[in-house]
Amino acid sequence: MKKIYDLLIIGGGPAGLSAGVYAGRAKLKTIILEKGTGGGQAATTSEIANYPGIRHISGPRLVEEMKLQNEDFGVEFAKADVTGVDFSGEVKVVKTLGGDYHARAVIIATGASPRTLGFPGEEEFTGRGVAYCSTCDGEFFEGLEVFVIGAGYAAAEEAIFLTRFATKVTIIARESSFSCAPSIVDKVMANDKIEVKFNTEILGVHGDGMIQSARFINNVTKEEFEYKAKEEDNTFGVFVFIGYEPKTEIFKGHIEMDDAGYILTDDDMKTNVNGVYAAGDLRPKSLRQIITAVSDGAIAATDAGKYIEEEKDRLGIKDEPEDEKPAKKEQAAVPAGKSALLSDALRGQLKGIFGKMESGVTMVSIVDESLPKSVELRDFLLDVAELGDKLHLELYNKGENAEIEEKINADKFPVVALLNSNGEYSGVKFHGVPGGHELNSFILAIYNLAGPGQALDSAVLNSIKGISKKANIKVMVSLSCHYCPDVVVGAQRIAIENPNVEAEMVDISNFQEIKKKYKVMSVPAMIINDEEVVFGAKKIDEIAALLV
C-alpha cells in the first residue's frame, strides 16, 4: 500500500524549512524533498545580520538550526531530484528518480537561481574568472582584484564579503544608486577596499584561458574604459549579482505562472490548484529575503493544514495515534579524542544509516604524518569506523604498503578510498577531509557502495553501464560550496556502477598546483582524464554523457 503524506514540501531552503516547522508542530505527516544539501541561497550567505532576534549568524548555521528544528517536530527529509508532478487528483503525485511520492497537499519552495547577464565572454569565462557565489568561490581570488556587477542587497553584501580575499573590490552599478537598505550601503561606502562606479555597465571580458581584461561604459557620458589585469596577477574576478530567476520550469503547465516563470498565489500562498501552494523567492514579490521566505512558508503550511484537515473530514480519514517520542536530551560536548566534525547527534544519525548497510565497505587511508590534513583525516575515519558493524578501516603510513597505494592510485594526500565487500577498489576516493557540505557526499558514497543505495532511473543506469572507456574524474570542490556534493555523489555513483570509472573528490584548498595547472577559478569543476575541464553543477546523467 502506498504511503500518503499529509504534506510534501519541495525544496529545503528557508521557505521550505519554515513550512516544515509549522507543519510538524501541527502534527502533519510531512516530508521535505531536497535536491542537494538544501538551504537554498541562505546556504551560500556568509553572514546574516538582519534576521530579527539573531544579531549575527552564518547562512549555513541558520539553515542547520532550521533543519534540526524540523527534526524536533518529526519532519522527514529525503534527497530527491524531482522529475515531474501530477496535481490533477485529490492525492498529489511528485515524481523523482527514486520513485513517486504521494501527499494530500504540496508546497513548492524551489527558490531561484542566479541570473546571468549575457555580456561577451560571460559564458566562456565562467569558472575561469566569472563567478556567481562569493562563499563558494571567493577564496580563489585571494590577493587579486575583483569586480562586482550589481547594486542590490546581494551585490552589496557579497562585495563586503569579498574584501576578505580581494585586494580591491569595484562595484559596477548600472543605476545611479543602490537598491538596498541604507545600513548596507553605509557599510559598503565606509569600506576602504571598495570602490563604486555608478551609471556603469560591463561590455565584456577577454583573456587567454582566464580573464585578463574587461571593458566598461558609463551609460550617461557614453565614455568607455578598459581594465587590464596587473602583470603580477595575470587575472582578476568578475562576480555577477543581478538577481535571480525562479526554478519552476518543471511545474509549467501544472500551475499558473507569470511570463517570467514566477508562480502566482493569493495571500495564503494558494496557487490556482487546490492543495498546491508556493512559498519563497519563486513568487512575484518586492522583497526577496530570508525573512519573507520563512513568512511565506509559515503561511503556506498553516493554510495547507486547514485544507488537509477538511479533506480528511470529507473523506472520513482518521489518523492513527503515534507513539510518544522521548524528549530530546541536550547535546553533550564532543568527547575527548573524537573528531570535531561529528557531534553526538550526528553520530546517532550515522549509526542509523550505517545500520542499513547490506554489505561491508572498507575505508583505506594512506597517512602522511607530515601533513596536518592527512592526520585530521585519519582521526575522522577512526571516529566514523566505530559507527557501523559493516564499516571497516585500514590505515597505513605513507610508503608502508606499496601494493595498496598502487591499488587505490594514492597519488595525492590526504587520501581515503573505498573498497567493496570483496576488497576491490570501487573507484571512489576523497582527497581532503570530507567536512562541511562534503560530509554528505562521503556518507552517500558509503551508502551507495554498500547498498541499498539511492534509486537510479533505469535509463540513467543503462547509460552508466554503457561507458566502455577508462575514465578519471576529479571533482574539484570547496567545503563551503553547496553545489559541489551533488556533482561528487553523481560522479562517484557512476564509478560504483562502472569499473571503468574512477571518481575523486579533491578539496581545492589543499591542491593549489591543480588549481593553477587547470586554471580553476570556480567550483564545482570536473577535470576529466586530466584534459577537459567542465564547470558548474551537473546531474548524474549529464556526467555520464561526458564519458561516453
- Whether residue 6 contacts residue 73, with contact meaning beta carbons closer than 8 Å, is answered with no
Using DSSP's 3-state secondary structure scheme, residue 83 falls into strand
**Residue 235 contacts residue 144 (beta carbons within 8 Å):** yes
Interior angle at CA 110, CA 107 and CA 112, nearest 5: 140
Catalytic-labelled residue, pool 133, 303, 383, 481: 133
CA distance 47 to 57: 6
Under DSSP, is residue 69 helix (H, G, I), strand (E, B) or coil? Answer: helix
Of 477, 441, 534, the closest CA to residue 136 belongs to: 477
Of 81, 136, 303, 507, which one is the catalytic site residue?
136
Check if the beta carbon of residue 147 is closer than 8 Å to that of residue 239.
Answer: yes
Helix locations, 258-289, DSSP H: none
Catalytic pick among 6, 81, 137, 383:
137
* C-alpha cell recorded at residue 390: 559493516
| Catalytic site includes residue 136 | yes
Is 481 an active-site residue?
Answer: no
Q: HSE-up of 365 (CA within 13 Å, CB side)?
A: 27
Q: Please state, in angstroms and rounded to a whole number, the distance separating the CA atoms of residues 172 and 148.
A: 6
- Residue from 498, 504, 503, 502 nearest 464 by CA: 498
381: cell is 575515519
Please return the burial class of 134, using the count of CB atoms within 10 Å of its CB with bins 0-12, 13-18 and 19+.
Answer: buried
Name the amino acid, one letter, at 344: D
Grid coordinates standing for 436?
Answer: 562541511
Q: In whole angstroms, give the CA distance from residue 545 to residue 548.
A: 6
The residues that are catalytic are 133, 136-137
